[in-house]
């Protein structure tokens, strides 16, 4: 399953890496690709993943916020 997270607070490559690292800790996440230029994160999963867990992972990475999560 694919999710797109719209974020707030990503400013650089280090921010991207921090968010990606935290998202990879969520059970079922197989890949995460953050882009500070568009403030989005593309997330690939082995199935359905709890949206709240994805939002929490973004917040745990630093001073970032997940504004919305959509499944594709």
Instruction: Give the predicted TM-score (pTM) of the model.
Output: 0.95
Boundaries of domain holding 33: 2-71
Q: Total domain count for the chain?
A: 1
Helical H segments across the chain, by residue range: 13-24, 51-60
pLDDT tens-place string over residues 6-41: 999 999 999 999 999 999 999 999 999 999 999 999
Question: For the chain, what is the radius of gyration of the CA atoms?
Answer: 10
> Does position 70 have pLDDT exceeding 90, yes or no?
yes
Report how far residue 30's alpha carbon sits from residue 21's, in angstroms, rounded to the nearest whole number.
11
Tokens for 69, please give them: 């999560």
CA 35-38-43 angle, 5° bins = 45
pLDDT tens-place string over residues 37-68: 999 999 999 999 999 999 999 999 999 999 99
Give the number of other Cβ atoms within 10 Å of residue 28's Cβ.
15
**CATH number of the domain encompassing residue 34:** 3.30.70.100
Report how far residue 37's alpha carbon sits from residue 28's, in angstroms, rounded to the nearest whole number.
26
Confidence of residue 72 (pLDDT cuts 50, 70, 90): confident
């Amino acid at each position: 399953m694919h999710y797109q997270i719209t974020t707030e607070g990503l400013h650089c490559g280090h921010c991207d890496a921090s968010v990606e690292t935290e998202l990879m800790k969520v059970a079922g996440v197989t890949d995460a690709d953050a882009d500070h230029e568009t403030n989005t994160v593309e997330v690939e999963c082995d199935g359905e993943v709890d949206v709240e867990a994805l939002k929490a992972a973004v917040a745990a990475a630093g001073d970032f916020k997940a504004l919305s999560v959509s499944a594709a």
